[in-house]
């Protein structure tokens, strides 16, 4: 269609378009009142020229903005620029004038700053103006003052970085480009791929909330973060987080929620560049860490407060980070020691923790009523930090088990004492119950089921009283329900199904009421989901109740949670769990096609979960269950060879899990079960040599489990099951007598382990059937019954 | 091409990666999109159509970061529709698709934003007068941004074909509108050379724009 390009015939129009849309110019634009000279720099926002302001005769830097950047339509940008132009500070490059070029582009005439950008200087120890720590800190203090000045006038820089601070020949730092930053965030980075290099340069210095595009959270604290980055650069010569590689990988790395280790990075820089050894003072490290805290709430609220702390540090006074929030220090310690050996970490933490509590207890006893409330609030706040980071936060961490245990035991001792002294304080009581819960969980993970149950029942007393005392406290109601569920789990594991179902039902009633009251809280949906899930599965396994109504609720609940926030990983985990459970149900109903379909969906979701959080054993475990589930569905559908392929993958996942956390018996049990299923399948496929090895491996794992967890039915029954497995193999090999001997041994081990209940009965029936299949009667004396 | 041919080997590094090159044809571009690794494909797309889409979204009243979101939306939807374009190169099909996808993404995002409460600092620019989700205004804006896109790309392509004095003179005279005699003096040229630079560059610009539109599909 010729008419499509007819518009190019109109010369004036075409030239107008060139003027509008074509920026990289060969000649400087014309600006009334200025004589433009050479180009000094070119960046994402426009081109900077050296120029003479004709009215005053002074040399200035003129920045001509790309229309795209100044975006005629963006009022916020214009407002920021207007405010920035009013800033007057010895360490901020002054904006003298603003206006439009002859061809209609906006420009700024700024103080011409000659010198070296900080990006080309440092770190401390390298010859140059910033070689000494004192001089680098003096320069940094001025930069902080400049930013504080801007903050007081409502101007946020948003793109602070060593490249935007120029050190003039007299040693004075000047911050440039106030008011010019386009919002930096992940989306902007991807969108601005034509300028990827430059954007990546900015990204390394941007605060996590900017990178994640949480635009409404970007405030003065984003600049505080960037100032922390500049300090980091002065001390190490590098940004706190490196930006390199692909865009998505970079984003992931940059938004990682761990603070960089300043001392370690300094040391690495010293080794890499042959710099003199510098002992970084702990207070300075603490200041830098607080400025660089991933969560804005943990940072200095403004540059001014950062500056005040620097002054205190300079004067040798205690800095606020170390004085102000004891919980924060503890949190830091945990972060820091997380990567070292668990033993060291445990020792440090327990010491730090208990001395802290002692000092608090002393303060509290002496304090007046109103003061007491404040002290108590501080204590509880700190304790929450300990629970959440030191205990819950390390659950996924290999080797942290002993540390968790010591920490929780120490905490329990001091808190029980607290509760005795201040029995009226409900918050103390609530925390005490939470600590009991953590102790119980730790005991359970170690297979100490009875102890775990006792602790949970003790917690239940507290939870019931608290929930009755204030029915409006969602947190307390929720905790009561969770406590009930955990007791139910312990009952179920011990084979007490009816009591377990009762506990679950009570929890369900509480969680349903909570979710009805707050329908948009995904967390409450999680709880509700898990109540239904437990009821459905236990009903299905035991046959003591109807599972159908509970199964029917699973997917709608997961979908509702995902609808509230499609990116929430735990909601995705719910959907996985729903499909996985429904698959088990389909199998139980004999609907194998449906089971395979559901298993595939579940496995895909599980893979996505692991991909999103590869370090999380919890999700690895889900992947394992999904792989095994798919194998089981395929077997049920008469496709054992395909199932075996799935099981090979499952085995790899299971081994990975045990490797990650060897002390967690659940994972060992997972590995044992996976091998058991594999062995059965190999027997079925007639691959008896392979099965022989697998059976031996199962026996070994079973002994390990039984030795570690006598009170746990799953663990204690494994040796008997392993023996019966060998009987199955012998039977397939046609070695009937040996098969019968193994089946009898299985029966004997089962009886000796004193396990009772319907599951035990079922096992006994299975073993007896095996014995019969080997050609021997049900009697344990082993007389041949015929054939 | 003989891989051992030293001349060929010497030429190869001169060629920028095809998809990012403004000279690559639409066929090459779509191929790169379909075959490229995540990042390459995205960069090729963003380099070619990012500004067009961003500007149009901006015209719709979206703030810059939202405009970036629109670019991503269009990219993702294009990836899905891609096979259709590679095998059916009817005139106007691609262009129509791009327009529809951009408009849909921009309008949807604007609706979503309108439903969100805004913090005071983020008061949106007034959208009155261009508030419609369709209609002649929107078509006109798209047409304008689309033309700008072709001019931008053609200008990038013609740069290496002319010497820098001609280009500078063209800029001063044709774009900035300075008197030809002044321009001739500034660059030490004959008056004729100034006129010629303008007409030659303008002619080449037209040719390239037409060629691009022809190729666009």
Please write the tens of the pLDDT for every residue from B49-58. 888 998 888 7
% chain A with pLDDT above 90: 25
- For residue B58, give the chain A residue with the closest CA: A73
Best to test chain A binding among B56, B57, B63, B129 (most A CBs inside 10 Å): B63
Q: Which two tokens stand for residue A18?
A: 């060139």
Helix (H, G, I), strand (E, B) or coil at A3: helix
Query: Is residue B25 one of the residues assigned to a domain?
Result: yes
DSSP A435-458: HHHHHHHHHHHTT-HHHHHHHHHH
Res A598: pLDDT: 92
Contact B213 A4 (CB under 8 A): yes
Residue with token string 């409450």: A524
Helix (H, G, I), strand (E, B) or coil at B183: helix
Contact B69 A187 (CB under 8 A): yes
Say if residue A549's pLDDT is above 90. Answer: yes
Say if residue A444's pLDDT is above 90. Answer: no
Say if residue B16's pLDDT is above 50. Answer: no
**Range with the poorest average pLDDT among A236-245, A568-577, B99-108, B158-167:** A236-245
B63 contacts in A (CB within 8 Å)? 74, 76
Say if residue B116's pLDDT is above 70. Answer: no
Contact A187 B151 (CB under 8 A): no
Asked if A305 and A313 touch (Cβ cutoff 8 Å), the reply is no
Tell me how close the Cα of A609 comes to any Cα of chain B, in angstroms.
21
Say if residue A229's pLDDT is above 90. Answer: yes
- For residue A186, give the chain B residue with the closest CA: B65
Contact B47 A194 (CB under 8 A): yes
Contact A191 B59 (CB under 8 A): no
Please write the tens of the pLDDT for every residue from A485-518. 999 999 988 889 999 999 999 999 999 999 999 8
Contact B155 A188 (CB under 8 A): no
Res A707: pLDDT: 82
B122 contacts in A (CB within 8 Å)? 76, 215-216
Please write the tens of the pLDDT for every residue from A8-28. 888 888 888 888 777 666 677
Max mean pLDDT among A95-109, A258-272, A390-404, A492-506 falls in A492-506
Say if residue B172's pLDDT is above 50. Answer: yes
B171 contacts in A (CB within 8 Å)? 25-27
Say if residue A665's pLDDT is above 90. Answer: no
DSSP A452-495: HHHHHHHHHHHHHHHHHH-TT-HHHHHHHHHHHHHHHHHHHHTT
Res A726: pLDDT: 93
Confidence of residue A293 (pLDDT cuts 50, 70, 90): confident
Torsion from C-alpha of A712, A715, A718, A719, nearest 10 degrees: -90
Instruction: Work out the average pLDDT over A687-711.
Output: 86
Instruction: Work out the average pLDDT over B90-114.
Output: 80
Res A144: pLDDT: 96
The larger pLDDT score, comparing residue A773 to residue B6, is at: A773
Best to test chain A binding among B33, B123, B141, B171 (most A CBs inside 10 Å): B171
Helices and strands counted in chain B (H then E):
9, 0
Q: How far apart are the C-alpha atoms of B128 and A479, rounded to whole Å? A: 52
Q: Which two tokens stand for residue A234?
A: 């002065």
Contact A74 B50 (CB under 8 A): no
Confidence of residue A259 (pLDDT cuts 50, 70, 90): low
Q: Which two tokens stand for residue A554?
A: 């699973």
The larger pLDDT score, comparing residue A402 to residue A335, is at: A402
Query: Is residue B137 one of the residues assigned to a domain?
Result: no
Contact B61 A102 (CB under 8 A): no
Query: Is residue B154 one of the residues assigned to a domain?
Result: no
Contact A191 B54 (CB under 8 A): yes
Q: Domain of B111?
A: 16-131
- For residue A76, give the chain B residue with the closest CA: B122
Please write the tens of the pLDDT for every residue from A631-640. 888 887 888 8
Instruction: Point out the residue among A1, A18, A22 whose CB comes nearest to the CB of B91.
Output: A1
Say if residue B9's pLDDT is above 50. Answer: no
A105 contacts in B (CB within 8 Å)? none
% chain B with pLDDT above 90: 16
Cis preceding-peptide flag for A123 (omega within 30 of 0): yes
Contact B47 A21 (CB under 8 A): no
Tell me the pLDDT of chain A averaged across its residues: 79
Query: Is residue B155 one of the residues assigned to a domain?
Result: no
For residue A100, list its beta bridge partners.
A106
Please write the tens of the pLDDT for every residue from A646-661. 899 899 899 888 887 7
The larger pLDDT score, comparing residue A773 to residue A72, is at: A773
Contact A1 B43 (CB under 8 A): no
Instruction: Work out the average pLDDT over A667-675.
Output: 91
A21 contacts in B (CB within 8 Å)? 148-149, 151-152, 155
Instruction: Work out the average pLDDT over B116-134.
Output: 42
Strand order in the sheet with A106-111: A34-42, A46-53, A59-65, A106-111, A95-100
Q: How far apart are the C-alpha atoms of A527 and A508, rounded to whole Å? A: 8
Name residues 264-323 of chain A within 8 A of B (Cβ). Answer: none
Instruction: Work out the average pLDDT over A596-604.
Output: 90
Query: Is residue B190 one of the residues assigned to a domain?
Result: no
Residue A430: other Cβ atoms inside 10 A: 18
For residue A754, list its beta bridge partners.
none
Tell me the pLDDT of chain B averaged across its residues: 75
Contact A22 B147 (CB under 8 A): no
Contact A17 B123 (CB under 8 A): no
Confidence of residue B123 (pLDDT cuts 50, 70, 90): very low
On whether any CB of chain B is under 8 Å from the CB of A196, the answer is yes
Res A581: pLDDT: 93
Residue with token string 């970007």: A218
Tell me how close the Cα of B2 comes to any Cα of chain A, in angstroms.
33
Query: Is residue B186 one of the residues assigned to a domain?
Result: no
Res A336: pLDDT: 40
Best to test chain B binding among A17, A67, A180 (most B CBs inside 10 Å): A17
B41 contacts in A (CB within 8 Å)? none
Say if residue A695's pLDDT is above 90. Answer: yes
- For residue B117, give the chain A residue with the closest CA: A216
DSSP A619-658: HHHHHHHHHHHHHHHHHHTT-HHHHHHHHHHHHHHHHHHH
Contact A18 B205 (CB under 8 A): yes
- For residue B155, give the chain A residue with the closest CA: A22
Res B134: pLDDT: 52
Say if residue A472's pLDDT is above 80. Answer: yes
Instruction: Work out the average pLDDT over A314-321.
Output: 63
Instruction: Work out the average pLDDT over A93-107.
Output: 83
% chain B with pLDDT above 70: 71
Say if residue A224's pLDDT is above 90. Answer: yes
Instruction: Work out the average pLDDT over A712-731.
Output: 87
Confidence of residue A342 (pLDDT cuts 50, 70, 90): very low
Query: Is residue B114 one of the residues assigned to a domain?
Result: yes
Please state the domain count of chain B: 1
Say if residue A584's pLDDT is above 50. Answer: yes
Sorted by sequence, the CB contacts under 8 Å of residue B202 that are 6+ apart come out as A11, A14, A15, B174
Closest listed residue to residue A195, CA positions, set B197, B199, B51: B51
The larger pLDDT score, comparing residue A747 to residue B118, is at: A747
Best to test chain B binding among A190, A211, A212, A248 (most B CBs inside 10 Å): A190
A247 contacts in B (CB within 8 Å)? 39, 42
Q: Which CATH number do you get for residue B105?
A: 1.10.1740.10
Instruction: Work out the average pLDDT over B79-102.
Output: 76
On whether any CB of chain B is under 8 Å from the CB of A20, the answer is yes
Query: Is residue B200 one of the residues assigned to a domain?
Result: no
The yes/no answer to whether this complex scores an ipTM above 0.85 is no
| Domains detected in chain A | 30-111 (3.30.200.20), 116-319 (1.10.510.10), 325-424 (no CATH), 456-566 (1.25.40)
Instruction: Point out the residue among B42, B63, B205 whose CB comes nearest to the CB of A14.
Output: B205
**How many degrees, rounded to 5, is the angle at CA A276 between CA A274 and CA A281?**
130
Please write the tens of the pLDDT for every residue from A450-466. 889 999 999 999 999 99
Burial of B214 (0-12, 13-18, 19+ CB in 10 A): middle
A183 contacts in B (CB within 8 Å)? 64-65
Please write the tens of the pLDDT for every residue from A40-81. 877 656 788 899 998 888 899 998 877 655 554 455 566 667
Q: Which two tokens stand for residue A375?
A: 């002290």
Asked if A165 and A230 touch (Cβ cutoff 8 Å), the reply is yes
Res A754: pLDDT: 65
């Amino acid at each position: 269609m010729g008419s499509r390009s007819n518009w190019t015939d109109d010369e004036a129009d075409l030239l107008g378009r060139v003027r509008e849309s074509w920026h990289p110019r060969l000649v400087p634009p014309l600006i009334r009142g200025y004589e433009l000279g050479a180009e000094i720099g070119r960046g994402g926002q426009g081109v900077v020229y050296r120029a003479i302001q004709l009215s005053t005769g002074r040399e200035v830097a003129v920045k001509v903005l790309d229309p795209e950047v100044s975006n005629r339509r963006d009022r916020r940008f214009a407002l920021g620029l207007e405010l920035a132009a009013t800033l007057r500070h010895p360490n901020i490059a002054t904006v003298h004038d603003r206006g439009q070029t002859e061809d209609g582009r906006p420009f700024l005439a700024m103080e011409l700053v000659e010198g070296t950008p900080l990006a080309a200087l440092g770190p401390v120890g390298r010859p140059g103006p910033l070689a000494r720590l004192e001089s680098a800190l003096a320069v940094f203090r001025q930069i902080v003052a400049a930013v504080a000045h801007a903050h007081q006038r409502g101007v946020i820089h948003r793109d602070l970085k060593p490249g935007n601070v120029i050190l003039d020949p007299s040693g004075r730092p000047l911050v440039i480009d106030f008011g010019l930053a386009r919002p930096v965030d992940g989306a902007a980075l991807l969108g601005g791929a034509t300028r990827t290099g430059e954007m990546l340069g900015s990204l390394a210095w941007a605060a996590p909330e900017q990178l994640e595009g949480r635009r409404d959270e970007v405030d003065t604290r984003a600049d505080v973060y960037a100032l922390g980055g500049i300090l980091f650069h002065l001390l190490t010569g590098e940004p706190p987080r490196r930006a390199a590689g692909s865009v998505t990988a970079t984003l992931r790395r940059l938004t990682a929620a761990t603070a960089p280790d300043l001392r370690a990075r300094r040391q690495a820089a010293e080794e890499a560049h042959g710099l003199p050894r510098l002992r970084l003072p702990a207070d300075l490290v603490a200041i830098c860490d607080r400025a660089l805290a991933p969560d804005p709430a943990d940072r200095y609220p403004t540059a001014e407060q950062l500056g005040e702390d620097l002054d205190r540090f300079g004067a040798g006074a205690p800095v606020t980070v170390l004085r102000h929030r004891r919980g924060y220090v503890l949190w830091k310690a945990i972060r820091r020691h997380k990567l070292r050996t668990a033993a060291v970490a445990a020792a440090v933490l327990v010491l730090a923790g208990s001395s802290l509590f002692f000092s608090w207890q002393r303060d509290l006893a002496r304090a007046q009523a109103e003061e007491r409330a404040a002290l108590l609030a501080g204590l509880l706040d700190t304790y929450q930090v300990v629970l959440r980071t030191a205990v819950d936060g390390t659950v996924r961490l290999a080797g942290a088990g002993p540390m968790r245990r010591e920490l929780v035991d120490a905490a329990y001792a001091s808190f029980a004492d607290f509760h005795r002294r201040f029995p009226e304080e409900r918050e103390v009581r609530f925390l005490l119950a939470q600590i009991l819960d953590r102790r119980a969980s730790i005991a359970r993970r170690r297979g100490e089921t009875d102890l775990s149950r006792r602790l949970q029942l003790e917690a239940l007393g507290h939870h019931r009283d608290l929930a009755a005392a204030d029915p409006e406290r969602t947190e307390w109601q929720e905790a009561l329900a969770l406590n009930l569920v955990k007791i139910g789990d312990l009952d179920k594991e011990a084979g007490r199904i009816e009591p377990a179902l009762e506990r679950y039902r009570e929890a369900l009633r509480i969680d349903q009421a909570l979710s009805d009251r707050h329908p948009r809280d995904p967390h409450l949906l999680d709880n509700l989901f898990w109540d239904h899930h437990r009821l459905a599965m236990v009903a299905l396994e035991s046959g003591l109740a109807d599972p159908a109504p509970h199964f029917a609720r699973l997917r709608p609940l997961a979908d509702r949670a995902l609808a509230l926030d499609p990116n929430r990983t735990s909601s995705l985990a719910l959907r996985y769990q729903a499909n996985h459970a429904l698959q088990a149900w389909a199998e139980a109903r004999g609907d194998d096609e449906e089971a395979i379909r559901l298993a595939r969906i579940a496995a895909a979701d599980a893979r996505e979960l692991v991909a999103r959080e590869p370090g999380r054993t919890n999700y690895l475990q889900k992947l394992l269950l999904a792989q095994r589930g798919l194998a089981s569905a395929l077997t049920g559908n008469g496709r054992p060879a395909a199932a075996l392929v799935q099981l090979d993958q499952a085995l790899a996942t299971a081994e990975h899990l045990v490797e990650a956390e060897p002390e967690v018996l659940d994972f060992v049990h997972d590995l044992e079960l996976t091998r058991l299923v594999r062995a059965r399948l190999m027997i079925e496929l007639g691959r008896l040599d392979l099965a022989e090895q697998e059976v031996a491996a199962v026996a070994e794992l079973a002994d390990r489990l039984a030795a570690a967890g006598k009170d746990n039915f799953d663990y204690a029954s494994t040796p008997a099951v392993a023996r019966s497995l060998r009987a199955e193999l012998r039977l397939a090999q046609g070695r009937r007598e040996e098969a019968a001997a193994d089946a009898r041994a299985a029966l004997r081990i089962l009886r000796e382990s004193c396990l009772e209940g319907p599951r035990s009965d079922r096992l006994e029936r299975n073993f007896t059937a095996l014995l019969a299949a080997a050609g021997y009667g049900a009697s344990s004396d082993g007389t041949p019954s015929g054939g | 091409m003989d891989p051992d041919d030293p001349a060929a080997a010497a030429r190869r590094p001169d060629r920028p990666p095809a998809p990012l090159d403004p000279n690559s044809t639409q066929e090459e571009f779509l191929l790169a999109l379909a075959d490229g690794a995540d990042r390459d494909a995205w960069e090729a797309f963003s380099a070619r159509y990012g500004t067009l889409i961003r500007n149009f979204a901006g015209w719709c009243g979206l703030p810059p970061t939202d405009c970036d979101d629109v670019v991503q939306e269009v990219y993702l939807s294009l990836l899905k529709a891609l096979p259709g374009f590679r095998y059916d190169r009817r005139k106007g099909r691609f262009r129509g698709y791009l327009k529809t996808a951009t408009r849909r993404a921009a309008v949807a995002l604007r609706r979503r934003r309108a439903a969100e409460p805004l913090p005071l600092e983020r008061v949106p620019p007034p959208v009155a007068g261009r508030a419609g989700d369709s209609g002649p205004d929107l078509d006109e804006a798209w047409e304008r941004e689309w033309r700008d896109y072709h001019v931008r790309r053609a200008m990038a392509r013609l740069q290496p074909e002319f010497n820098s004095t001609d280009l500078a003179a063209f800029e001063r005279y044709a774009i900035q509108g300075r008197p030809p005699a002044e321009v001739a003096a500034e660059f030490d040229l004959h008056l004729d050379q100034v006129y010629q630079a303008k007409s030659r560059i303008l002619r080449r610009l037209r040719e390239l724009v037409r060629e691009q539109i022809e190729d666009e599909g």
